[in-house]
Every structure is written in structure tokens, then in C-alpha cells.
Structure 1
Amino acid sequence: FGMLLAHLSDKLESEVAETALSDLEDFYREAKVRFDNEDGFADRAREYVVKLQGGDARCLALWQQFIDISIQHSEEVYEKLNVSLTRDDIMGESAYNDDLANVITDLKEKGIAVEDQGAQVVFIDELADKEGNPAVYIVQKSGGGYLYSTTDLAAMRYRSGKLNADRTLILTDARQALHFKQTEIVGRKAGFMKPEQTYEHCPFGMMLGSDGKPFKTRTGGTVKLVELLDEAVERAGNLIAERASDLSAEELKDVARKVGIGAVKYADLSKNRTTDYVFNWDTMLSFEGNTAPYLQYAFTRVQSIFRKSGISPADLPGAMTFTEKQEHALAVLLLQFEEVVGIISRDATPHVLCTYLYDVASAFMSFYEACPILKDGIDEKVRNSRLELAALVAKTLEQGLSLLGIETLDKM
């Protein structure tokens, strides 16, 4: 942060913060080049760190500008993704600063942390190696500085004591699994959580490019999420425009947004959270297979049936009778929805819900092919029963996709 503040301070002599920080990645890169190559810049950066930690008013004001503009960038992405998080939901690392010294004091008083080569360290016997050497968990550096471990313990204490959280779910890269296991062991020993409260690390894998390496742009840079989403909407719009449809320009724009954004979300959520996966536009936006467009299309098929029938689901008698095996299979599957929702809320595994919804959509397509609904000569009771089943499919798909943050459409 000292490096960034020194760079921003210089930039503000000729431009405003919003312009200087319009691309945070480029800004960071510029600052790093100066830090590595410019005489005196690294020393200035270190001075800014000291000033910031000492509560210098100008440094705090610059730092706050970084926060505000960073959050503003995030909010633009949240809006595209229809994410309901607000600034009130944010607790940055600095929010726990006042408690870090108390965390160290408590750990020392309880005999959990001991001094080792000037640092405060917790030796974790539960995670000892084959030779019996305990795992080393540093909570304060020899120079007095704090680490992620200190902040995570303070956060644990806050969530347990102030928020009274029944569950803490931490979603990070799978490579941080050991750190959070160590944090839980130390925190529980220190009494920073109640025994009945859970501390659940939910690791996830990486998104890979077609070369099997972490996903990058053609020039080797990091892919920005906001640009990825814009491209998804554009590609979805082109695909839908190629299909024969009676959509107006405004409707096409809305469908492209819902299909494009839904496809990106579903591609991520439908994979087992812990595994890596290869990012592929064609697979993601396909109207066949386990994809968001396929599920959204299945929902629109039901809406189309009801439009053609002239009957509203609310006007149906509510009785269902099954004579065909496809009707029975679909009905049994629909009854499993509650169980599936229970599994994903317990295990934080949204891919289970994705697989279930795909099975429902596939079973509906089989039912639709085998069991005519609006064909001439179909008995009214049979027609109404099948309409009832179709309505339940639409309701399940809509609710399931909504839980995944994916919107449905009446026409595609």
C-alpha cells in the first residue's frame, strides 16, 4: 500500500483520483515498475506505510480513495451479475486492526502462542509431520507486524462474538486449505468460537484456458470479469439473432443479457467446486447439454405450451394422474427438489443443484416427446394432468435457477 500511495500522490499532481485509478491493474503495474527501478521510490513507499499505520490524515484519505474506487468497480460487476451485496456487507482486513494486539495478548496469556526467534508462534501438534515436528503458525512477526493469520483469527472472533454466526463459510482457492485448517485449530483452542459454531473452508479450483493453464487473455494478461461478462452477452446476442425468432430488438437485448450472464454463472457453478475446469465459450453457450441456455430454453417451452393452450396454471384443477412411464419418472424427480436444496445448503455444492435441474429439464423433454398435451383427441383430464406436471416443471426450474442467481425468460 505504501507503494500505491506514493504513486497516487505523484499522479494527483496532474490528474484526479478517478482518472488515475480507472484501471487498478495498470496502476499497480506502473507503481511496481517504479518500486523496482526508480531511485528513492522504495524508501518513499516505506515511509508511506509508516504514515498510514500511524494514522496520518492525508495517507488515510488517499487510502480511502483506493477503497471507494475499488468497491465502485466491484459494484459495476455486482450489477451485471445481479448480486445483492452492498457496502454494508463489506468487512475489509483493516476493520479488524483494533483487535489484532488483543488477539496476540490472549494467545500468549492462554499459553497458546510462544516467542520463537523474536516472533509469536503457535506450534500445532495436531498437524505434525512424519517426524513428529509440529506445524508452525506465525501470528506476529519478529518486527511486530501482523499476518493473515492474525486478521483471520480476529475475524473469527468478530463473527462468533458480534455476529453470533452459526456458520462461517470461507470461499478461497484450494491452495489455502492448510492455512484455514490451522486457523480453526488455533481459534478453537483459544475459545474464539463456540463449540457449536462451524468454520467451513469451501475450497475451489481454477478456471483454465484450452492449454490447461490458468485462463489468460491472448496477450497473456489477466482476464477481467467485467469484460468476460460483456463478451458473454455479445456472443449470446449473436447466437440468438441467428435463430429464427419473433423477438423485438429490445427483447433480443434482454434475452442476450439473461442468457449470456446465466451461461457464465452456470458454467462455473455446475462444476464440482473443488476441481479445475477448462473455460470454453461454445460449450457454455450451447443450447444442448448441461448448460444454462438449455435449462432456460426448457422453461420457455413450458411457457409456450401454456400460451398455446390458453389456460393459466392457476385455473387447473390440481389433480394429476400418471399412466405413462415418462410422466411417473418426471413426477418422482420433481419430488426430490427439497432434498437437493438441503444438500447444497449443507455442503455448499451448487453443482448438485445444477445436475438435478439438468435431469429435470431432460426428463421434461422426454415426457414432452412421449406424452402429447395439446394434441387433438387427448382426454381433458389427461391434458390437464400433463399441463399440471409441466407447470410444476417450470416452477422447479425457475426456483432452482433463481437459487443459482440465473434468470428465466418467457420467450427465446
Structure 2
Amino acid sequence: MRLMSRLFMLLFSQQLLSSSRLVALTATRSIRRGGRHLFKGQQHSHPQLGFLHIGAGFRPILPPSMSSSSFYPSCKGIFSFSSSGSSPPHKRSRTVQLSATTTPSEHLPSLLEASNYRRALTYQVRDSLREAFGPDADGADPMVTPATRPEFGDYQCNAALALAKRLKAKPRDVAEKLKDALESRTQKWCEPLEIAGPGFINVRMTPAFVESRLNAMLSDQTGRLGVPRPARAQRVVVDFSSPNIAKEMHVGHLRSTVIGDTLARVLEFLGHGVLRLNHVGDWGTQFGMLITHLKDRHPDVLAEGEAAAQTDLGDLVEFYKTAKQRFDVEETFKARSRQEVVNLQRGEPATLQAWRTLCQLSRVEFQKIYDALGVRLEERGESFYNPLLAQVLSDLDASGLLKESEGARVVYLEGYQTREGEAQPFIVQKSDGGFLYATTDLAAARHRALEEKAERILYVTDAGQASHFDQVFQVARQASLVPPEVQLKHVPFGLVQGEDGKKFKTRAGETVRLKDLLDEAVRIARDDLLKRAEEGTQPLPEDLERSARIIGLGAVKYADLSLNRESDYKFSYKKMLSLSGNTAPYMLYAYARIQSILRKGNNGENEDRLSQGSTPPVVLAEPAEMNLARQLIKLTELLQRVEAELYPHILCEYMYDLCQKFNQFYEACQVNNAPTPDLVRSRRALCVLTAQVLRLCLDLLGIEVLERM
């Protein structure tokens, strides 16, 4: 079988390499068969690359990404080898992934039409490196980045500097040779290339090309502003928020909730199928403690009646604190609490009903938060996976990974050691037969991949859980609980701190409740609107409460999302509610200002879109118009970066730059009083498109807009 597999791979590789469509084939995942590596190479993945499946019959199936109409000119090959016809499908195969890169020439038109100019340029640079330097440039990074300053153009290619070291040549000489090869490819959409400094190549799109792409966005009748759907939509699971039952949501849940919601919104808009899961903590020892305590002292809370109806989540939190104190000091109470856990696991009716009551009381309060934030989630708590834990142990045992250690059942991990230098055990079942969070996470990953058919699973949790998820992913891979082509990705975020740089707490030293934080933001926004109206600097909104809610909640969300999610940040109402700087109020004001400009030229009526069939061609005569247009047409590129890199602040930075460029445009160019009717229509079209892009971006962040401010 090994010889047959190797022979097939060799023949198929030669067939790919000899094809005029393909220029490279690289192994991207190592695989062992009989103790030997068939292929070994660097890991490479992209959320939108297609898969080439080759089963027992070794028949290649051309994926969408190989089509000439595809936006993504790369693919991965999946080669499977059957080991047992009676085994489950996900265990029958051993997989190696290969990446094949097609020549960019046939994909360039579709890449440009899809507004992915950076990717198009990257492939043109890659072709040019090969033409100019032959095999000496194999594997060279095109190093195409956005230009650091507007005067440098739109993009910058830094490949010459790195390649010069390999060639032992001067960077400018390498840059000149690369420029000569590249210019013949970029001349249809870029101005003549410039070499700057030691060997940077500056690339600037032509005004005609920018105008054509801008007009394509304006004439898009689908409402997508020219943003294409993926060549192949993925099934993506986003696991976020995840509060604990019988505990109030606190400021720490804010980050997971708003980051996860934004990523889900972006993926959904781009055309992927997204399952938003709320992995609530609704199972475990804490319920034994709480149920026992309530049966002792507050039995009416667990009954269906007025007392239960009047109990809120704050009451449950206090009940839990008392129950925990009793658990720590009363041995009899501890034993009874553990028995209630056993009763819960066995499905004893009275205990089960008490548990359901506690879950429902919590669920009602959680939903109030989600409604306020505009967040949609499907609850899939730990209890959901409880019946699946035995199968996880069975799979681990069948894979040969399950071992015993001091009565517990464990898996030994690669790369993790105890203080004594021994292999660190990953516990999946305690010596008393109980399961852990890790076991539940393994069951969840397995269910999401095999039952939900997820191809990408994102876990949005704090950075402190990075090691935990690394271990879970490692075990899931080793035991084939998750197929190798499914991406498991931890999306970590930092802490929310007070303005003093310490953990964000109330004056009494308590953790800040999320509900209180949001209510305070809305209150401050309301007071600010009233103050501005009294001072005469801004009219009072017709719907004060709605405006205060949009500004207050938007400010909290944007303050979180506008920073690199992996960084800690200092929570400041004053900064986040400021009308200047990179804040939600600034973005909302910019949008409202554009609407005001459009109303002035339209007899006071809103005009946030152009009538179908009447889209005027945009003509870019002034530098400020061109700078604004260049920012607008990069929308797709930015959204696809967020999709791939999972950093929402990329979108916020784009919006902030867009607002600044619009302000510069409006200061430099008359709109409603422009010299000619054609110029009026052209500049109003620029205003309409800017407003539409801002509204879309704010919606992707979960922030509503205000037509007037």
C-alpha cells in the first residue's frame, strides 16, 4: 500500500507540474504510515481555498478554486488512503495536504473584478520574480504590503531587499530587474512603477482604473457594494460569549461577545454559512451546591410560582456565594451537594427540574443583554455534550492514546512537560469517574466537525485559555476526532482594565456587571445629548432614548473592537464617547454629516442610495477625490483580511481612514455647489458610496446608524 501510494503521488505530482495551469506543488502537512513520513512540509491554510479529494480510486476532482472564474488561484490537494472498510469514515483515512498554485494570468481579471488588488499584485510579482530571476527566486516572498504613506502610492513591494541577500546583489539592481518584468504586467491598471530608497517598488493604481472600480461599486444592484461571494462557501462555527448559568455576565464577557459577533457578521456577509454557538456553563458541581442550598433554605425558588417568577439572576448569584461558603466548611452539605450532582447526571426528575429552573432564570437575563447588544446566538451548553463524552473516551482508547495515571484516564501530550521533566498528562476522566471541561471540549469539537459538518471552528475566549485549547486541538488531531482539513482556531483576546491599568472592578472591589456597564454608557450618552442641546451646539434628537442607546452601546462596542484584540485595554467612558478620534460617536457623526450634505441638495429628503439605472459616472479630478476613491475601493480587500486574520480592528482602522479622507475631500471639493451639474452628480455619488460603506462597516460591528446627530 505504501509503495502504491508513493507511486501515485509521484505520477500525480508530475502531471500537475507538467500542466500549463500549475507552477508549483508543495507538501503542506506531514503524515506517517508505518513509521515513515510520506510527505513533509510547512503548514499552510486559507479559509477560502478549495479541496481536491482523492479517494480509494485515486480519481482527482477539480475543485472550484481551480476554475478560471475563481477568485482564489490556489488549492489544496487531499489524498486519502483507506485502512479499513469497516471503520468510521473519519478514521479510515490518513491524509496529506498538498498546495498547488495556478498561474496568476488566467485569474487576474477575476481578482481585479473582485476588488482584491493586493492579491492580484502579489501573483503578478510572483510571476515577475520567476521571469526575472528563474530558479534563483523559487520560494521568494513577493512581500506586497499597503503603502505606508499616500505619496508612496497604493502598495509597496519589498521583495528585492530580501532576494538581494540570496543573490548577493545590490537591492536596487534587483529592484530594477524586477520592476522591468513587473511593469509589463501592471501597465493596464497601474501607473509606471517607481523605485524608492534601497529597493522598494511603489505601485499606484491609475485614475482610470480607480474610476472603473468605483463605478462598479456604485452600479452594484445587489447592495453588496461590489463585494463578491466566495468561490466556495464554508460552514463555520463561531463559539463565543459563553457565560455561566447562575452567574451574571461581567465585563469579561463583553469582549468575547462583541468580537465573536463581529467575526460572525463578517463571515455571514461574505457568504459563508455560520453557526453561532453559545457554549454556556450549565453543568457541574456548582449546580449540586446551589440546588442543595435552595432546597434547604429557599425551596419556593425551585417551585413553579410567584417566588420563582420574582427571582432574578442577582438573587441566584447571592445564593451561589452562600452555597459555596457552606460547601467549603460543612462536610454534610458537601456530601449532599455531590449526591445532587449524581442525581442530575442520572436524570432524577426533581433535581433535573430544579436545574432547568436555574437555567431558565439565567437565560432570561442573558437574553436581555444579547437583545441590547443586537447579538444572535444558539445556546449549546456543556450539558448538550454530556451524552457524547463516553464516545470520546472510546475513540481515544481505540486510537491507542488513552492511558491511566493514578487512577485517572489521560492522554500524554507532545511538547508539554511537568516540573519534573516528565510528559504532562491531559486528564479526560478523573479517578472518581467524573469528566472535565477538556473532555467536553473534545466532544464539542468532534460534534461540530462530524455532525455540524464545520470546516472552520473558531473559539473566541480570553488569551489565558491558549494553552488549554492548544492541548485540546492536539488531542483532537491525534485521535482523529476532527478530520485534518477542518481548521480549529483559538481567537484570543486580552483583558479589560480600569483607567489605572489594573483589573476593572467597582469601587467596592467587585467585578463590574456587564448590565451596569452598558446602562452607564447609555446614561452618559443621554446626559451628553441633553447638555449639547442646552448649550445650543446640537439640537435635541427627536428620539432621545434611541439616540442615547445607539451612541452609548456603539461606543462600548467600538472601543473594544478598534484595538488589537490580543491587547489589554483601559476602559474609559470619556474616551469612548468622545466625538473626536477613532470612536463610535465620531463614525456616527461622520455618517450623519454625509446624510445632511445629501439632504441639502435633495430638498431636505434623505438620499442614501442612487436610483436604479441612474448611477452617474464618477469623474475624479481633484487629489482629495482620488484619495477618497482609493480608500473606498479597498473595502473587499479589508473584509477578506478580517475573514482570514480574524482581527476586527482592521475594519475599524479602515473606517477611521475613510472618514478622515472624506473630511479632506469635503474641505477641498464643493459638492452641492460644484461648478457643473455633472460634477455635482459625481461628487454626490462619492458621498452616497461613502455613507453606504460606513453603514455597512458599522453594521458588521453590530452598531446602528443615526441619520441625524
1:305-326 CA-to-partner distances (Å, cap 9, x unmatched) read: 1111017442564211112111
Matches within 5 A, 1:209-224: 209-224=498-513
Partner SS, residue 491 of structure 2: strand
Match of 1:9 in 2: 295
Match of 2:333 in 1: 41
* Superposed displacement of residue 73, structure 1: 0.9
Partner SS, residue 543 of structure 2: helix
Match of 1:245 in 2: 538
Distance in 2 between residues matched to 1:41 and 1:126, nearest whole Å: 41
The change in CA–CA distance for 1:31 and 1:129 in structure 2 (over 3 A counts) is closer
Aligned AA for 2:325?
V
Distance in 2 between residues matched to 1:116 and 1:13, nearest whole Å: 41
The change in CA–CA distance for 1:145 and 1:338 in structure 2 (over 3 A counts) is same
Match of 1:28 in 2: 320
Match of 2:464 in 1: 175
Say if 2:370 and 2:376, in contact at 8 Å, map to a contact too: yes
The change in CA–CA distance for 1:195 and 1:14 in structure 2 (over 3 A counts) is closer
**Which runs of no fewer than 5 residues in structure 2 stay unpaired?**
1-286, 302-306
1:375-410 CA-to-partner distances (Å, cap 9, x unmatched) read: 3x6322222111111111100000001011001110
Match of 2:310 in 1: 19
Aligned AA for 2:685?
E
Distance in 2 between residues matched to 1:43 and 1:96, nearest whole Å: 26
Aligned AA for 2:291?
L
Aligned AA for 1:246?
P
Say if 1:121 and 1:137, in contact at 8 Å, map to a contact too: yes
Matches within 5 A, 1:118-157: 118-127=407-416, 133-157=422-446
* Superposed displacement of residue 211, structure 1: 2.0
Say if 1:103 and 1:154, in contact at 8 Å, map to a contact too: yes
Distance in 2 between residues matched to 1:297 and 1:213, nearest whole Å: 32
Aligned AA for 2:471?
Q
The change in CA–CA distance for 1:307 and 1:21 in structure 2 (over 3 A counts) is closer
Which structure is larger by alpha-carbon Rg, 1 or 2?
Answer: 2
Query: When the two structures are superposed, what TM-score results if normalisation uses the length of structure 2?
Result: 0.56
Distance in 2 between residues matched to 1:351 and 1:358, nearest whole Å: 10
Partner SS, residue 203 of structure 1: strand
Asked if 1:332 corresponds to 2:630, the answer is yes
Asked if 1:393 corresponds to 2:690, the answer is yes
Say if 1:205 and 1:275, in contact at 8 Å, map to a contact too: yes
Asked if 1:67 corresponds to 2:359, the answer is yes
* Superposed displacement of residue 106, structure 1: 1.7
Identify which of 652, 657, 669 aligns with 1:371. Answer: 669
Partner SS, residue 373 of structure 1: coil
Match of 2:492 in 1: 203
The change in CA–CA distance for 1:317 and 1:108 in structure 2 (over 3 A counts) is closer
1:1-24 CA-to-partner distances (Å, cap 9, x unmatched) read: 211111222343355234344413
* Superposed displacement of residue 201, structure 1: 0.4
The change in CA–CA distance for 1:22 and 1:156 in structure 2 (over 3 A counts) is closer
Say if 2:395 and 2:481, in contact at 8 Å, map to a contact too: no
The change in CA–CA distance for 1:161 and 1:110 in structure 2 (over 3 A counts) is same
Partner SS, residue 170 of structure 1: strand
Distance in 1 between residues matched to 2:373 and 2:431, nearest whole Å: 43
Distance in 2 between residues matched to 1:410 and 1:26, nearest whole Å: 43
* Superposed displacement of residue 38, structure 1: 4.8
The change in CA–CA distance for 1:290 and 1:43 in structure 2 (over 3 A counts) is same
* Superposed displacement of residue 195, structure 1: 1.4
Asked if 1:314 corresponds to 2:605, the answer is no
Which deviates more from structure 2 when the two are superposed, residues 39-48 or residues 277-286?
39-48
Say if 2:300 and 2:308, in contact at 8 Å, map to a contact too: no
Which deviates more from structure 2 when the two are superposed, residues 76-85 or residues 47-56?
47-56
Distance in 1 between residues matched to 2:601 and 2:500, nearest whole Å: 49
Match of 2:547 in 1: 255
Distance in 1 between residues matched to 2:594 and 2:381, nearest whole Å: 45
Distance in 1 between residues matched to 2:413 and 2:496, nearest whole Å: 33
Asked if 1:357 corresponds to 2:665, the answer is no
Partner SS, residue 506 of structure 2: coil
Aligned AA for 2:671?
I
Say if 1:207 and 1:278, in contact at 8 Å, map to a contact too: yes
Match of 1:113 in 2: 402
Aligned AA for 2:359?
I
Say if 1:287 and 1:293, in contact at 8 Å, map to a contact too: yes
Distance in 2 between residues matched to 1:298 and 1:57, nearest whole Å: 57
The change in CA–CA distance for 1:19 and 1:410 in structure 2 (over 3 A counts) is same
* Superposed displacement of residue 359, structure 1: 0.7
Distance in 1 between residues matched to 2:615 and 2:567, nearest whole Å: 46
Asked if 1:288 corresponds to 2:556, the answer is no
Aligned AA for 1:352?
I
Partner SS, residue 48 of structure 1: helix
Count residues in correspondence. 407
Distance in 2 between residues matched to 1:346 and 1:131, nearest whole Å: 40
Which deviates more from structure 2 when the two are superposed, residues 46-55 or residues 17-26?
17-26
* Superposed displacement of residue 127, structure 1: 4.1
Which deviates more from structure 2 when the two are superposed, residues 398-407 or residues 92-101?
92-101
* Superposed displacement of residue 42, structure 1: 2.2
Asked if 1:410 corresponds to 2:707, the answer is yes
Aligned AA for 1:122?
V
Aligned AA for 1:19?
Q
Partner SS, residue 299 of structure 2: coil
Identify which of 356, 376, 387 aligns with 1:84. Answer: 376
Match of 2:563 in 1: 271
Which deviates more from structure 2 when the two are superposed, residues 365-374 or residues 121-130?
121-130
* Superposed displacement of residue 126, structure 1: 4.1
* Superposed displacement of residue 353, structure 1: 0.4
Aligned AA for 1:245?
Q
The change in CA–CA distance for 1:368 and 1:181 in structure 2 (over 3 A counts) is same
* Percent of aligned pairs sharing the same letter: 43
Aligned AA for 1:47?
Q
Distance in 1 between residues matched to 2:406 and 2:615, nearest whole Å: 78
Aligned AA for 2:580?
E
* Superposed displacement of residue 136, structure 1: 2.3
Distance in 1 between residues matched to 2:590 and 2:409, nearest whole Å: 59
Query: When the two structures are superposed, what TM-score results if normalisation uses the length of structure 1?
Result: 0.94
Partner SS, residue 288 of structure 1: coil
* Superposed displacement of residue 101, structure 1: 1.5
Q: Cα RMSD over matched residues?
A: 1.9
1:193-232 CA-to-partner distances (Å, cap 9, x unmatched) read: 1111110000111100122122111111111111111111
Say if 1:113 and 1:120, in contact at 8 Å, map to a contact too: yes
More helix as a share of residues: 1
Match of 1:228 in 2: 517
Distance in 2 between residues matched to 1:37 and 1:147, nearest whole Å: 24
Distance in 1 between residues matched to 2:297 and 2:412, nearest whole Å: 45
Partner SS, residue 211 of structure 1: coil
Aligned AA for 2:295?
S
1:47-102 CA-to-partner distances (Å, cap 9, x unmatched) read: 212222222111110111111111111100011101122xxx11110111111122
Distance in 2 between residues matched to 1:347 and 1:186, nearest whole Å: 24
Say if 2:610 and 2:685, in contact at 8 Å, map to a contact too: no
Partner SS, residue 34 of structure 1: helix
* Superposed displacement of residue 131, structure 1: 8.7
Say if 1:8 and 1:20, in contact at 8 Å, map to a contact too: no
More strand as a share of residues: 2
